[in-house]
A and B are shown apart, each in its own frame.
Chain A
């Protein structure tokens, strides 16, 4: 306990946001490291395969879970823990609780990595973590919910800004969804039986993106971009429509992962229609935020945080258009069960939510440290490394997906297709190197900014 008090005091004011910032930067680096190992296997299948802990089947879920719960979620939460009290004209309910949550968050991530590395997996995508780790994650969300909601309860500002809606909804809906999706009432398997389990799993799996990363990222965008451009929000009404339509529409789309599976046809029809209807919440948000910053691109360019976040909104547009398109059955005949989907996942999770999280971190860092960023140059370099890396990777994997999908439809055998796509896997790993380098540059820049920053205090 004494060490927690000492660490909290060492971090100073805004300790909770700082702790989550450091968590996000650290695990971004680890997550991309595991991603690079996985990319290596796709070029050379025997690459390190004699090391049991990092076999491909274990590295992949480690990479995915670390990106979701180690990098993007803590990054977006860091921003939320900063902007929530400011928007409510109060203090965070407990900085110490926030720091304890961040420390436990890191501990749970370590336990999760070790569990998956040792082969203890529940084998369901995005729900691989064993039951004990699931319970810890739910506990962590409970701590975040308590801290945020008590802050809301003690607010001095009567009006809740749209970012607060998204932050509160994201944590509470994810806590509930995580319990359901991981079937926590069945500790031995973490699963139902048969087709109903697939339906539940993809309800949960897609909502990790739809009810956790997306609302938290939109909350950051709604906070950062109007402030950076010194512009009032374009429309409160569009904010309302965007918020409620996101929750209503996004929660219906999970079954579009199961169009080739004997689930009820009406369920498939709902998921396809709602996947296309995702243009409503997405375009409503984009119209609102882009009209807010209209004519202010110079201000966005001047602020590295806003630059990341604005780029994230553009990627949100592309991810949505692609997502709606690939939910159509005739399209999915080619694009499903291959690297097209992996491209889409990188576009959504890294290019939209991840880049937005980085933008949130860079926007709040000078404010929580009361010093300028250690190096704007390194942050810009990281921006371009990640933007180029994820763009090349997305295009590359999309091409691979089209080759694989058409080969499958044509009855081609896998061993004849693998040599055709080998070059693209080399390009994929090369693009991954850009992201890998960007992650470590960001970690260095953030650690220097937090702990070893010689810059003069701004306040």
Chain B
């Protein structure tokens, strides 16, 4: 097998694309986001806690690093 730049780069990218479709895109597209029978809304206290500790969001520069301070 002659390993030309096209074979190395093209081949690697084709493999990566196929595996991303299989291992990431397929489970993403088939994920069932319907809430289960034990689902309930968070209480206000839980929402406040979630907002402080579990947000996956960059803080705005205007926000304090420790909201409780």
Specify which of A118, A153, A194 is in contact with B31 (CB 8 Å cutoff): A194
In the complex, how many angstroms separate the beta carbon of A305 from the nearest chain B beta carbon?
26
**Which stretch in A250-258, A308-316, A394-402 binds the other chain?**
A250-258
Contact B19 A176 (CB under 8 A): no
Contact A247 B16 (CB under 8 A): yes
Contact with B along A234-274 (1 / 0, CB 8 A): 00000010001001100110110000000110010010000
In the complex, how many angstroms separate the beta carbon of B50 from the nearest chain A beta carbon?
13
Contacts of B19 in A (CB 8 A): 248, 251-252
Given contacts A52-B65, A131-B58, A173-B16, contact A264 B27 (CB under 8 A): yes
Contacts of B56 in A (CB 8 A): 122-124, 189-191
B38 at interface by CB-CB < 8 Å: no
Identify the closest chain A residue to B53 (Cβ): A123
Contact A240 B24 (CB under 8 A): no
Contact B15 A247 (CB under 8 A): yes
Given contacts A130-B58, A264-B30, contact A165 B65 (CB under 8 A): no
In the complex, how many angstroms separate the beta carbon of A314 from the nearest chain B beta carbon?
27
B39 at interface by CB-CB < 8 Å: no
Given contacts A195-B31, A252-B23, contact A172 B13 (CB under 8 A): yes
Contact with B along A156-173 (1 / 0, CB 8 A): 000010101100110011
How far is it, in angstroms, between the C-alpha of A189 and the C-alpha of B20 when the chains are bound? Answer: 21
Given contacts A196-B28, A254-B23, A267-B23, contact A172 B12 (CB under 8 A): yes
Specify which of B20, B31, B57 is in contact with A196 (CB 8 Å cutoff): B31
Specify which of B11, B15, B24 is in contact with A180 (CB 8 Å cutoff): B24
Contact A251 B27 (CB under 8 A): no
Given contacts A122-B58, A190-B56, contact A160 B4 (CB under 8 A): yes
B22, B30, B56: residue with the most chain A Cβ atoms closer than 10 Å = B56
Contact A192 B16 (CB under 8 A): no
How far is it, in angstroms, between the C-alpha of A389 and the C-alpha of B43 when the chains are bound? Answer: 49
Identify the closest chain A residue to B2 (Cβ): A159
Specify which of A118, A149, A199 is in contact with B24 (CB 8 Å cutoff): A199
Contact A200 B5 (CB under 8 A): no
Given contacts A203-B20, A251-B23, contact A165 B15 (CB under 8 A): no
How far is it, in angstroms, between the C-alpha of A409 and the C-alpha of B59 when the chains are bound? Answer: 37
Contacts of A199 in B (CB 8 A): 23-24, 27-28
How far is it, in angstroms, between the C-alpha of A212 and the C-alpha of B9 when the chains are bound? Answer: 14
**Chain A contact patch, size range:** 35 or more
Contact B31 A169 (CB under 8 A): no
In the complex, how many angstroms separate the beta carbon of A69 from the nearest chain B beta carbon?
19
Given contacts A165-B3, A252-B19, A254-B23, contact A188 B58 (CB under 8 A): yes
Contacts of B27 in A (CB 8 A): 195-196, 199, 263-264, 267
How far is it, in angstroms, between the C-alpha of A339 and the C-alpha of B28 when the chains are bound? Answer: 30
A372 at interface by CB-CB < 8 Å: no
Specify which of A176, A188, A248 is in contact with B57 (CB 8 Å cutoff): A188
Specify which of B1, B13, B28 is in contact with A192 (CB 8 Å cutoff): B28
Interface of chain B, helix or strand or loop or mixed?
helix
In the complex, how many angstroms separate the beta carbon of B27 from the nearest chain A beta carbon?
5
Contact with B along A176-187 (1 / 0, CB 8 A): 110010000001
A40 at interface by CB-CB < 8 Å: no
Contacts of B24 in A (CB 8 A): 180, 196, 199-200, 203
How far is it, in angstroms, between the C-alpha of A234 and the C-alpha of B69 when the chains are bound? Answer: 64
A31 at interface by CB-CB < 8 Å: no
Contacts of A188 in B (CB 8 A): 57-58
Identify the closest chain B residue to A123 (Cβ): B56
Contact A169 B8 (CB under 8 A): yes
Contact A177 B3 (CB under 8 A): no
A450 at interface by CB-CB < 8 Å: no
Contacts of A251 in B (CB 8 A): 15-16, 19, 23
How far is it, in angstroms, between the C-alpha of A270 and the C-alpha of B19 when the chains are bound? Answer: 11
Contacts of B8 in A (CB 8 A): 160, 164-165, 168-169
Specify which of B11, B20, B28 is in contact with A244 (CB 8 Å cutoff): B11
Given contacts A130-B58, A160-B3, A264-B30, contact A118 B13 (CB under 8 A): no
Report B8-46 residues with CB < 8 Å from chain A CB.
8-9, 11-13, 15-16, 19-20, 22-24, 27-28, 30-31, 33
How far is it, in angstroms, between the C-alpha of A270 and the C-alpha of B3 when the chains are bound? Answer: 29
Give the 5 A-B CB pairs with smallest separation, nearest first.
Answer: A196-B28, A119-B65, A251-B19, A169-B12, A191-B56
B residues with CB within 8 A of A: 1, 3-5, 8-9, 11-13, 15-16, 19-20, 22-24, 27-28, 30-31, 33, 56-59, 65
Apart from A172-B9, A244-B11, A247-B12, what 7 extra A-B contacts exist at CB < 8 Å?
Answer: A119-B65, A122-B58, A149-B5, A160-B3, A169-B12, A173-B16, A264-B30
